[in-house]
Amino acid sequence: MTTLLTVANLTYKRNLKTILEDLNLTLEPNQIVGLLGANGAGKTTLMRLIAGAATSYHGTIRLGDQGTPAERKAIVSFSEQVAGVNDNRRLVNIADFYDHVYPDFDMANFRKLATDLGLGLDQRFNQLSRGNHQKFVVAIALSRHAKLYLLDEPFNGIDSMSRKKIVSSIIEWKPEMATILVSDHHVTDIANILDAVAVVKDHTIVDQKKADEIRENNGQSIEDYYESFYAEGETDND
Amino acid sequence: MEFDDKIPIYYQIKQYIYQEIIVNHLAPGDKLPAVRQLALTLTVNVNTIQRALSELINEGILESKRGRGNFVTTDVATLTDLKHRVVEEQLALMYDRLADLQIAPEDMVAYLTDYIAKRKEQAQA
């Protein structure tokens, strides 16, 4: 199978502090992959780098045959780009803005997604509940026709009904050959929909495996597998 | 549907479809829902559904008709075999558990007969 994303020997430092070190990650097309790791392990930074939102790194990031950050930005849909908007505009106006900025944004799909998620588009962004905030971020991200979607902690701090709706949207709206990388620190939310998982720890990816191989070969649940990397030592995971 | 996260999901979906066929919720010749619809109903990945379905097609339980979807086979022998196979798997589990308890085969029959009688009474009560 052709590779969608190759990250090789990626090192990223900020203010002399190492955020990511010698990180390797490979993603195939048409997958849903869980990026698992404790808070502060570097999941968001990795997504920012893949999306082209951070640029001063060492190593290789290739998406198909697109190598430069600007080229990647055009074909990666990253949820954080939405979350940064902090204003009192109505959701429909923010969506209009993305419709103008991204040629691959599909307004019709966005409206259907919002309806599926039960999001009223007349609401103002800065008055959204946590659950509706996350639904909106996911709806915006999935409304682009991208090759790679990066969803950063979409289930963080939301109720189970919102979580179920977001999970359904991911299943329903993922374009056939696209890949979704979704980060989470509580894997049971999404274990059933993952093709594979990658575990981030100590500034790098310590392992990457197919979900059914973990179950079939190790006889482990995804959660047990993930927690085995954090079993000994520090307790910075929650 | 609740899944056991220690067992491959595609395998559990196969078992679920076997059951739907055996209890005739899916009758011979019935069309299965579209792949993405099944994925949504069961809250699993589309690829997982596809893997389960392609194994069921290889086993002859389902027939894939190009452009029209997947259908339960109408081959009676295949469906009879399926039922025997699934029932036997359950019996094998029970047999092994009882054998671990050093219950002799003839005693197993006696225990099972008594147990069935008891369940019938409970059902009537």
Q: Which ipTM value was assigned to this complex? A: 0.84
Question: What does DSSP assign to residue B111?
Answer: H
Mean pLDDT (chain A, rounded): 89
Residue A219: pLDDT above 70?
yes
> Is the distance from CB of B8 to CB of A215 less than 8 angstroms?
yes
Number of domains in chain A: 1
**Chain B contact for A196 (CB, 8 A cutoff):** no
Task: Give how far Cα B61 sits from Cα of A30, A212, B36, B68, Å.
Answer: 27, 23, 20, 17
**Which DSSP letter does residue A126 get?**
G
- Asked if A194 reaches chain B (Cβ–Cβ under 8 Å), the answer is yes
Does A83 have pLDDT greater than 60?
Answer: no
In a domain, A121, yes or no: yes
Mean pLDDT estimate for chain B: 95
Q: Which residues of A touch B43 (CB under 8 A)?
A: 164, 167-168, 171, 192-193
**Domain membership flag for residue A47:** yes
A234 inside domain:
no
Nearest to A219 among B3, B6, B39 (CB): B6
Phi-psi region for residue A121, left (φ > 0), alpha (ψ -120 to 50) or beta?
alpha
Q: b or e along A138-175 (b: 16 or more beta carbons within 10 Å of the residue's beta carbon)?
A: bbbbbbbebbbbbbbbbbeebeeebbebbbbbbbbbbe
Per residue in A89-147, pLDDT (tens digit) is 899 999 999 999 899 999 999 999 999 999 999 999 988 888 899 999 999 999 999 99
Q: Does residue A232 have a pLDDT over 80?
A: no
Check if the beta carbon of residue B61 is closer than 8 Å to that of residue B78.
yes
User: In angstroms, rounded to a whole number, what is the distance separating the alpha carbons of residues A198 and B54?
Assistant: 27
CA distance A114 to B14: 33
In whole angstroms, what separates CA B45 from the centre of its chain?
Answer: 20
Beta strands in chain A (DSSP E): 5-14, 17-27, 32-36, 58-63, 76-78, 148-151, 179-184, 196-201, 204-210
CB contact under 8 A, B44 and A221: no
Would residue A233 count as lying in a domain? Answer: no
3-class secondary-structure state, position B6: coil
Q: What is the pLDDT of residues B48-65, one digit of tens each?
A: 999 999 999 999 999 999
Interchain CB contact of A159 with B (< 8 Å) = no
Confidence of residue A238 (pLDDT cuts 50, 70, 90): very low
User: Which residues of chain B approach chain A closer than 8 Å at the C-beta?
Assistant: 3, 5-10, 36, 39-40, 43-48
Return the pLDDT at A86: 64
Query: What single DSSP character describes residue B68?
Result: T
What sign for the dihedral angle of Cα A51, A56, A57, A59? positive
Among A167, A174, A212, beta carbon nearest to B10: A212
Contacts of A216 in chain B (CB under 8 A): 8
Q: For chain B, what are the domain ranges?
A: 9-74, 77-124
Assess if CATH 1.10.3720.10 describes domain B9-74.
Answer: no
Contact B60, B75 (CB under 8 A): yes
A117 contact B CB<8A: no
pLDDT tens-digit series, residues B18-27: 999 999 999 9
Domain with A202, as residue range(s), is: 5-228
Which CATH number belongs to the domain containing residue A192 in this structure? 3.40.50.300
In angstroms, the CA B19 to CA B15 distance is 6
**Alpha carbons within 13 A on the beta-carbon side of A12:** 27
Question: Which tokens go with A50?
Answer: 């893949």
Find residues 135-154 of chain A whose CB sits inside 8 Å of chain B: none
The pLDDT assigned to A85 comes to 56
Cβ neighbourhood burial of A116 (10 Å; 0-12, 13-18, 19+): middle
Mean pLDDT score, A49-57: 89
Count of CB pairs separated by less than 8 Å, A with B: 51
